[in-house]
A and B are shown apart, each in its own frame.
Chain A
Amino acid sequence: MLFRFALSSLKSRRKSVLLTFLSLLISISVLLSVEHIRSQAEQSFSRTVSGVDLIVGAPSGQLNLLLYSVFRMGSPTNSISYSSYDMLQNHAQVAWAVPIALGDAHRGYRVLGTSPDYFTHFHYGNKQPLVFSSGGAFAQPLEAVIGADVAKKLGYQVGDDIVISHGVGAVSFKNHDDAPFTITGILAPTGTPVDKTVHVSLQGIEAMHMPAKALRQYLSASSETQLNLKPKQISAVLVGLNNKFATFTLQRQLNNYKGDRLMAILPGVALAQLWQMMASVENILMAISGLVMLSSLFGLSTMLLASMQQREQEIAVLRILGASSLTLLMLIVVEALIITLSACLASLLLTFGLFTLFSDTLANHYGLFISANVLSPTNAVLLAGVVVASLLTSLIPAIDAYRNGLHARL
């Protein structure tokens, strides 16, 4: 009966109740989203690369190198010579070295020139290797392996031909039409930027940039000559070491290497630095959403408080019918709870819907892989906190009702 009374009372004030509900809905959604993005981003960042001991590229900042080599964001400011890659491959401490060349795209998806070794050595998450969901690695220059999202979004299958464009934009004015690539393999989803990448061989990258005549000549040559084509420059090299203890020694060596201007970074350290940078932004966001939440709760309390004046008559009637002052207090708290709980539920649905809708955009533009499952343990705790806070703020009008109850007269 108390619940029904509260519900009916709320319905009779539906305009102000609806506005309060909306303000709560928005602030709870912001709170949930910020926390969700934070935890998911941390997860998706740290799982992006695994098993790589050093990333070697041209000197810039370590974040810049990390971003373009692993997250496919931004572009290399400079290149390193192919001979440096040869040097790394022959280095005693190096177990494997995988070259990467960036700078082209296929319909907005970055193209990564590399060697077939990439598919065996590049790991993600908790040392998980890349797995082909169909087909296999490329063997010929004009063959490509695409990530799971590329295949899904563009509807490609093994055997399809694709044309790569110059530059990394979604729209390009220069297409390498003469050199179409055939898809030989599709990778299983990883939840990392690999899903958004078109992988081709270094030779393929080199070949498609050739003038038409040279390209025809190259393609008619024997496959051995084709595979011997070596680019002059590459963007970066991913390196795995025989002995992890040699990491810092090798890093210092490479940074002081005389043959080329090189910079070596530890992906773990760079990720941590990136994360630290994000953390301060994220703390600010969290604080702001907390404040927005608080102001919404005060709005709820204000709405209920304002209604107290209209309700003096109602309170007198309830008192006469035998309602105790405590019952009146409970009535207001129940009203606040109804609004807050329904706002919590609605914002769960809203954020779930939004993340389902925009997960692709987030992944494409920001490299953030966010799952739509918003109800994480942390968010459950946050929601519980919101409910408790609404209980507390609703005590302000509730105590008013209690006092009114004590002083109500016929």
Chain B
Amino acid sequence: MTAKIPPSSPTQVICVEHLEYAYNKQAPSFVLPKWQIEKGQRIFLHGPSGAGKTTLLNLLAGILVPQQGTIHLLDKPFSTCRDSQRDKLRAQHIGVVFQQFNLIAHLSVLDNIRLAAYFAKQGKQADEHAFDLLHKLQLPDYIASQPASSLSIGQQQRVAIARALINAPELLLVDEPTSALDANARDAFMSLLLNLCEAHNTTVIFVSHDPQLASYFSQKVALQELVTIKEPNHVV
């Protein structure tokens, strides 16, 4: 059995090998020969715009599927499995926080969090866990019943963390979450996020072009060192 499984130890959260992806045949391809992320690592991923940050996040989240190579999530084939399987793995093992518009505006805060639990097939205990997370993120209880659209952006981003962590995912993908926040709110946000991830031993990949945020991380990766952009062979 071990012979077939790629050489990745159980401590690896993500293992990327020989990955190639292009949006279409004329577009340049995104090439990532090898990248392994160990459990508990917190990585600050930075790079200029156009370097493929968003493409990489979409690939890691299983929204995009590489044309070549493989991605393994917790030793399980992720990029090569069936779509439904990939959706399930994403629901259960990956949390995501975007730049903004994280929440479904017409649902209450609690329902937004429940939604994530629903897709991960969590039972009733999700509610208790949700309030626990809201406390830890310094959000008052009454906010749970408010519609998400009535919250400030800072509050919305904190609810987004709660939602991303409700299923206790092994991997948290974060994409420029502080771009809409002022400096104070940004600092508060960063320390809440990282403290929670430390407490849960969650692996974090934090994407940003803001060098000020790099100080929160011990491990920094420049995308250009990881990825090469290959122009298509037949340029017309």
A313 CB to closest chain B CB (Å) equals 5
Of the listed stretches B54-62, B189-197, B211-219, name the one at the interface; the rest are far from the partner chain.
Answer: B54-62
In the complex, whether A325 has a CB less than 8 A from a CB of chain B is yes
Distance from A332 Cβ to chain B, minimum over Cβ atoms (Å):
15
Contacts of A252 in B (CB 8 A): none
CB of A230 within 8 Å of the partner chain: no
Interface size on B, residues (CB 8 A): 31
> Is A8 interfacial (CB-CB < 8 Å)?
yes
Q: How far is the CB of A330 from chain B (nearest CB, A)?
A: 13
Interface contact B111-A408, CB-CB below 8 Å: no
- List the A side residues contacting B17 at CB < 8 Å: none
A255 to chain B, nearest CB (A): 76
Offer 13 A-B interface pairs, CB within 8 angstroms, sorted by A: A1-B118, A8-B107, A11-B106, A317-B101, A320-B63, A320-B98, A321-B116, A322-B91, A322-B119, A323-B119, A326-B84, A410-B57, A410-B98
Q: Chain B, 64-91, contact with A by CB distance < 8 Å: what is the 0/1 string? A: 1000000000000000000110011011
A409 within 8 A of B: yes
Residue contact B119 to A321, C-beta cutoff 8 Å: yes
Cα-based distance from A314 to B106 in the complex (angstroms): 10
**B87 and A409 contacting across the interface, CB-CB below 8 Å:** no
Chain A: CB-nearest residue to B175: A410
Determine if A72 is an interface residue (Cβ-Cβ < 8 Å). no
> Does B63 lie within 8 Å of A410, measured CB to CB?
yes
Give every chain A residue within 8 A of B16 (Cβ-Cβ): none
Q: Residue B51 at the A interface, CB < 8 A?
A: no
* CB pair A317 B90 closer than 8 Å: no
Report whether A320 and B61 are in contact in the complex, using a CB–CB cutoff of 8 Å.
yes
* Contact present for B105 and A324 (CB under 8 Å): no
Within the complex, the shortest CB–CB distance from A334 to chain B, in Å, comes to: 14
- Does B229 count as interface, using CB distance less than 8 angstroms? no
Q: How far is the CA of A350 from the CA of B96 in the complex (A)?
A: 48
Asked if A319 is at the interface (CB within 8 A of a chain B CB), the reply is yes
Is A248's beta carbon under 8 Å from chain B? no
Whether B115 lies near A1 (C-beta < 8 A) is yes
Closest to B101 in A: A313
Assess the A4–B111 pair: CB atoms within 8 A: yes
A228 at the interface (CB under 8 A from B): no
Binding site for A on B (CB under 8 A): 54, 57-58, 61, 63-64, 83-84, 87-88, 90-92, 96, 98, 101-107, 111, 114-116, 118-120, 163, 175
Tell me if B83 and A410 are in contact (CB < 8 A): no
A residues contacting the other copy or chain, number (CB 8 A): 23
**Could you list 13 further interchain pairs (A-B, Cβ under 8 angstroms) beyond the known A410-B58, A410-B96?**
A1-B118, A5-B115, A11-B106, A320-B96, A321-B91, A321-B115, A322-B87, A322-B92, A323-B91, A324-B83, A408-B63, A409-B64, A410-B63
Q: Determine whether A12 belongs to the interface, using a CB cutoff of 8 Å to chain B.
A: yes
A9 interface hit (Cβ, 8 Å)? yes
8 Å CB contacts to B: which residues of A33-92?
Answer: none
What's the Cα separation between A11 and B149 when bound, in Å?
Answer: 14
Which A residues between 300 and 331 are near B, CB-CB below 8 angstroms? 313-314, 317-327
**Distance of B108 from chain A, by nearest CB (Å):** 8
Q: Are B98 and A323 in contact, with the CB atoms below 8 A?
A: no
A214 to chain B, nearest CB (A): 84
- Whether A409 contacts B115 in the complex (CB less than 8 A), given A5-B107, A317-B104, A323-B87, comes out as no
B142 to chain A minimum Cβ distance, whole angstroms, is 19
Q: How far is the CA of A321 from the CA of B114 in the complex (A)?
A: 11
Q: Contact between A322 and B111 (Cβ–Cβ < 8 Å)?
A: no
B residues less than 8 Å from A1 (CB atoms): 114-115, 118
Roughly how many angstroms separate A318 CA and B118 CA in the complex, as a whole number? 11
**With contacts A1-B118, A317-B103, A409-B64 known, is A322 near B57, CB below 8 A?**
no
Which residues of chain B come closer than 8 Å to A317, judged between CB atoms?
A: 101-104
Q: Which of A1, A12, A317 has the most CB of B within 10 A?
A: A317
Residue of A nearest to B60 (CB): A410
Residues in A with CB closer than 8 Å to B87 are: 322-324
- Set of chain A residues within 8 Å of B163, measured between Cβ atoms: 321
A324 touches B98 (CB 8 A): no
B104 x A314 contact (CB < 8 A)? yes
- B106 / chain A contacts, CB cutoff of 8 Å: 8-9, 11-12
B residues in contact with A410, CB < 8 Å = 54, 57-58, 61, 63, 96, 98, 175
- Residue A12 contacts which of B54, B101, B105, B120 (CB distance < 8 angstroms)? B105
In the assembled complex, the Cα of A410 lies from the Cα of B101 at a distance in Å of 10
Chain A positions 2-43 with a Cβ under 8 Å from a chain B Cβ: 4-5, 8-9, 11-12
A325 and B61 CA atoms in complex are apart in Å by 15
- Give the docked Cα–Cα distance between A322 and B117 (Å): 10
Residues of B near A4 (CB, < 8 A) are: 111
Residue ID in chain B nearest A1 by CB atoms? B118
Option from B58, B120, B175 in Cβ contact (under 8 Å) with A322:
B120
Q: Which residues of A contact B83 (CB under 8 A)?
A: 324-325
How far is B114's CA from A217's CA once the two chains are assembled, in angstroms?
A: 95
Cα separation A255 to B104 with both chains bound (whole Å): 81
Q: Which among A9, A314, A320 has the greatest number of chain B C-beta atoms within 10 A?
A: A320
Instruction: Report Cα–Cα, A393/B105, bound state, in Å.
Output: 27
Q: A76-112 toward B: CB 8 Å interface, digit per residue (1/0)?
A: 0000000000000000000000000000000000000
Which partner residue on chain A sits nearest B84 by CB separation? Answer: A324
Q: Are A319 and B107 in contact (CB under 8 A)?
A: no
- The residue in chain B whose Cβ has the minimal distance to the Cβ of A323 is B119
Complex Cα distance, B98 from A319, in Å, reads 13
In the complex, residue of chain B having the shortest beta-carbon distance to the beta carbon of A313: B101
CB-CB < 8 A to B104: which residues of A?
Answer: 5, 314, 317-318
Chain B residues near A8 (CB, 8 Å)?
106-107, 111
Contacts of B118 in A (CB 8 A): 1
From residue A60, how far is it (CB to closest CB) to chain B in Å?
67
Name which residue of chain B comes closest to A7, CB basis. B106
